[in-house]
Amino acid sequence: MTMIFDDIWKNNKSQLLNFIKSKIDNEEVSKDILQEVGIKLHDNLLRKTKIRNYKTWLFQVTRNTISDYYRKANKYTETVLNELEPMVEGTSSCVCDLSGFVIQNYLPKKYGIPLYLSDIEQKSQQEIADILGLSLAATKSRIGRARERLKVLITSCVDVAHNNTGQIIDYQLKNDCKLPIELKNEMERIKLVP
């Protein structure tokens, strides 16, 4: 297990630190966040968590850890929040990047922002209500409506297969679906299409 961790960590550590430093303007805090991500990787390897793509997983955990840092430090601003989403060209990307893109570009902001904060940034609904200045009931309602709208958008172009517990196990683009050019470009950018 130690060899697996060492190999994964050696191959990704410097890219992760550079990404963290692009979001956190403090050398010591950046190193602390990197160490926390390393601990999470180690713990998940010990638990034998199934991770398909270590690089993608590490970058998502890093994003979440940075978000946690700002939340705990109570330093959230709209600027910081917006800067956490995009990944620069040449680093890792994942399907979550495409989900974030679709949520931000194809849903009305009234629904897209709460859903993005909930499902991509993994914030609690109460935190989202506080950030957006909404009641908890209004926040829950907007997130629910956003999920319904997103589902309609996705199922119009994608066949999704689920396992018996409801988790997505596969998806295929429908042959008759015409994707908007900006969505095709985003899929190419994050290397979801050849």
Q: Give residue-wise pLDDT tens across range 83-129.
A: 444 443 344 444 555 677 788 778 888 998 998 888 877 889 999 99
Q: Cβ(107)–Cβ(146) under 8 Å?
A: yes
What does the pLDDT read at residue 102?
80
φ/ψ (deg, to 5) at 169: -115, -20
2-84: CATH topology: Rna Polymerase Sigma Factor; Chain: A (1.10.1740)
What does the pLDDT read at residue 101?
75
**Helical ranges in 47-180 per DSSP H:** 54-72, 78-84, 95-106, 109-115, 125-132, 136-155
What does the pLDDT read at residue 133?
92
Domain ranges of the chain: 2-84, 95-189
The two domains 2-84 and 95-189 share their CATH topology (first three levels equal)? no
C-alpha span between 137 and 107 (Å, rounded): 20
124, containing H or E segment: none
Q: How many CA atoms lie within 13 A of 24 on its CB side?
A: 24
Residues of the chain short of pLDDT 50, as ranges, are: 75-94, 194
Give the closest residue to 5 by CA, choosing from 33, 36, 46, 34: 46
C-alpha span between 98 and 179 (Å, rounded): 13
For the entire predicted model, the pTM comes to 0.46
Give the closest residue to 81 by CA, choosing from 118, 49, 55: 118
95-189: CATH topology: Arc Repressor Mutant, subunit A (1.10.10)
